[in-house]
């Protein structure tokens, strides 16, 4: 039933990306603007796929140093210890902080990797033969990506708490390692990539393919 429903595009309606108002711009040459906030109107996000790919590829590149370089450097009487994200998780687990270790693993390893793979799948799916494959499921996947993105910065707070816990120990200090910057960049880049992706492209491909068979 939902697949045969008419779209706003067919009625000449365009939603504003700034304020959300739906309007029917005059059929004149030139650029259409929102009557409420005067923002430029677009049927679809301009160059959505290209922009999303650009941010996503940058996130893939920075994902490696974010996980291979030390993210925390701890100094104590026994020496200096440098931990990557994974070794820090193992240290937390071995010390009995299982809850914090699980949270760090989910937010620092699972969530970024899930967003990278899921966005890649969506970008590939709107092109080629897979463009009509399960549009409802792909739309739900995109909503899940946006929902998970709200928790992407949780691991930053966990790392700050972990740093304070280390500093409370006897004559021990900790500093942020070189992996912090690329890791934060991965979080930001994946959030921007999700914003650049236009989920309506999923249904455009499905509708075009359906129109060919009618």
DSSP string, 67-116: HHS-SEEEEETTEEEEE-HHHHHHHHHHTT-HHHHHHHHIIIIIHHHHHH
Contacting residues for 131 by C-beta, under 8 A, at least 6 apart: 125, 205, 206, 209
pTM: 0.77
Domain that holds residue 33: 1-43
Do 167 and 87 sit in the same domain of this protein?
A: yes
Phi, psi of 21 (to 5 degrees): -70, 135
177-190: per-residue pLDDT in tens? 888 889 889 988 99
Do 183 and 143 sit in the same domain of this protein?
A: yes
Do 195 and 102 sit in the same domain of this protein?
A: yes
Question: What is 5-16 written as a DSSP string?
Answer: S--TTTTT-EE-
Do 49 and 75 sit in the same domain of this protein?
A: yes
Do 30 and 107 sit in the same domain of this protein?
A: no
Number of domains in the chain: 2
Do 50 and 37 sit in the same domain of this protein?
A: no
Do 201 and 117 sit in the same domain of this protein?
A: yes
2-33: per-residue pLDDT in tens? 455 666 666 777 888 778 788 877 654 567 88
Do 73 and 141 sit in the same domain of this protein?
A: yes
Do 39 and 64 sit in the same domain of this protein?
A: no
Do 52 and 33 sit in the same domain of this protein?
A: no
CATH number at residue 163: 1.20.140
Q: What is the pLDDT at residue 101?
A: 82
Do 126 and 143 sit in the same domain of this protein?
A: yes
Do 39 and 107 sit in the same domain of this protein?
A: no
Q: Which two tokens stand for residue 135?
A: 């549009």
59-109: per-residue pLDDT in tens? 999 999 998 998 877 776 677 778 888 888 888 788 787 887 888 888 888
C-alpha angle 70-73-76 in degrees, rounded to nearest 5:
150
């Amino acid at each position: 039933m939902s697949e045969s429903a008419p779209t706003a595009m067919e009625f000449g309606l365009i939603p504003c990306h700034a304020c959300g108002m739906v309007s029917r711009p005059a059929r004149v040459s030139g650029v259409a603007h929102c009557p409420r906030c005067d923002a430029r109107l677009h049927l679809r996000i301009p160059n959505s796929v290209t922009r999303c790919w650009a941010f996503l590829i940058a996130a893939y590149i920075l994902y490696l140093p974010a996980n291979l370089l030390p993210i925390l450097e701890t100094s104590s009487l026994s020496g200096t210890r440098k931990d990557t994200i994974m070794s820090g998780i193992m240290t937390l687990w071995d010390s009995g902080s299982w809850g914090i270790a699980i949270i760090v693993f989910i937010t620092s390893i699972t969530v970024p990797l899930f967003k990278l793979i899921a966005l890649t799948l969506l970008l590939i799916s709107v092109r080629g033969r897979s463009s009509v494959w399960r549009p409802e499921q792909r739309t739900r996947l995109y909503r899940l990506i946006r929902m998970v993105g709200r928790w992407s910065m949780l691991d930053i707070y966990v790392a700050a708490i972990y740093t304070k816990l280390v500093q409370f120990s006897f004559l021990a200090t900790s500093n942020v390692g070189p992996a912090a910057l690329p890791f934060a960049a991965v979080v930001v880049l994946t959030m921007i990539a999700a914003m650049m992706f236009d989920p309506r492209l999923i249904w455009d491909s499905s509708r075009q393919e359906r129109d060919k068979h009618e």
